[in-house]
Amino acid sequence: MFKPHPVTVGIGAPTFQDVVNVARHDAPVELSTEAFAEIAKTRRTIDALAADSTPHYGVSTGFGALATLHIPHEKRVQLQRSLIRSHAAGSGPEVEREVVRALMFLRLSTLATGRTGVRPETAAAYARLISDGLTPIVHEYGSLGCSGDLAPLSHCALALIGDGPVRDADGTVTTFPDPITLHEKEGLALINGTDGMLGMLVLAIHDLRNLLTTADITAAMSVEGLLGTDRVFAQELHALRPQHGQQHSAANLRRLLKDSAIVASHRGPEDTRVQDAYSLRCAPQVAGAARDTLDHAEHVARRELESAIDNPVVTEDGRIESNGNFHGAPVGYVLDFLAIAAADVASMAERRTDRFLDVSRSHGLPAFLADDPGVDSGYMIAQYTQAALVSEMKRLAVPASVDSIPSSAMQEDHVSMGWSAARKLRRSLDALTQVLAIELLTAARGIQLRAPLTPAPATAAVIDALGTEPGPDRFLAPEIAAATDFVKAGGPRRAAEAITGELA
């Protein structure tokens, strides 16, 4: 059984792969020596401020709209517990395990910078919670994305102090066996961050890289199956418009369609078609624009991974300062951008699928790709499913980040809704995976029906790996589910790259 190596959490930024390994592969975590030293150094500053007779926000005051209230020393442990209990106010379904683990890992990464003021033993306990495979129960609703993901992070902190439920690796509900008592500043340090929305952004970027390459693969297969031309993907044409993502997608299509006997069969003057439909001809322009959007999102995510987000924060010269870095706008915007791009890629894929099923546009293929049209319905209803998914994605593409509902007695009068943007992006990418799976199935059927003409070696390899054959109607839902799993696992990309080499 594969056991991932521990991920070391230091004072620097974690990598995307670190997040994926902890979130999805249950990698344990360990704090570096440098991180422990920096945490201990900063904690001495907090202890000094706690002993000061002058109130300091986050150390000896209340929170939010109650920030002007001075809290006596003997009530500060109660203050921390009350903060966590009151802010753990989420509701609705449980959030996925991988999201909670990503969220916790990124909060630990910020603690490790030494800018939050927690004690070394608190950071160590948080690391144990992750490494022991214990996942706090976090709920769907509760975060406004400012001050960060308060409610989700509070449910994790509640587990750390022994008051909140966790699930072990087997899913059994239990509690953390080694709870801690929080001291001054630690409650805020555990809950003031963009870690939930950032964790979901990193996982989405990881998944979308695979899906956009898969979209190039399914587009190439549709070009073949619909007797489209590959001339529109020529390098010199795309050099006229130097959008990087577009050029990468066009290069993928050229490599995928190389040596296709199907494409070569209609290159002569007897082909009277002047131009292919936009859904074929403009595939690199749309998928390429999505790639450029993804690149921008990755830049934002990398900067956020380098950040130490808390309020107040302890500066390197020992001051404790309030700030607004917890506001989730930078992350919320790109989460929304990606949902828009994903919806457009899916919309174009659905249009290609529909062309396969219409005898007036499929250039000689049987109606709905049915084995015996009339008796069999072929992929008619698979396209309905695809259309329903695309319609849902269009609704999910409506930006969450344009909304704001004031909270905390108007102290927090503008919020990012970044958590909501992240939640809907996850649903959108799940739908995109299914949309591409259905295009993969229909394009494979269309290519097979072009026999004895043969497809390109790369697309042929994808069809072989998919493992479907033409034939009479069968129970289609399991076939779609299997194709979806194939896409999600990167199967089309691996099969194609065995022929083409690494695709962009």
Distance between CA 413 and CA 411 in Å, rounded?
6
Distance between CA 182 and CA 50 in Å, rounded?
13
Write the DSSP assignment of 364-414 as a string of letters. Answer: SPPGGG-SSBTTB-TTHHHHHHHHHHHHHHHHHTS-STT----BTTTTB--
Per the CB < 8 A criterion, the answer to whether 388 and 353 are in contact is no
- Rounded CA Rg of the chain: 26
Instruction: Give the strand pairing for 29-31 and 7-9.
Output: parallel
Q: CA-CA distances (angstroms) from residue 466 to 15, 369, 490, 503?
A: 32, 17, 11, 19
Number of H helices, E strands in the chain: 19, 9
Grouping H, G, I as helix, E, B as strand and the rest as coil, residue 322 is coil
Beta bridge partners of 136: 166
Beta bridge partners of 94: 139
Give me the active site residues, please: 57
Distance between CA 45 and CA 357 in Å, rounded?
69
Distance between CA 358 and CA 246 in Å, rounded?
29
Instruction: Give the strand pairing for 29-31 and 135-136.
Output: unpaired
Token representation of residue 46: 């907090």
Q: Please write down the long-range contacts of 263-267, taking CB distance under 8 Å and 24 or more positions apart.
A: 263/223, 263/224, 263/228, 263/229, 263/230, 263/456, 265/227, 265/453, 266/227, 266/229, 267/229
Q: Is the four-CA dihedral 390, 391, 392, 395 of positive or negative sign?
A: positive
Cα atoms in the Cβ-side hemisphere of radius 13 Å centred on 112: 27
CA 454, chain centre distance (Å): 37
Question: Who's near 270: CB < 8 A, 6+ residues apart?
Answer: none
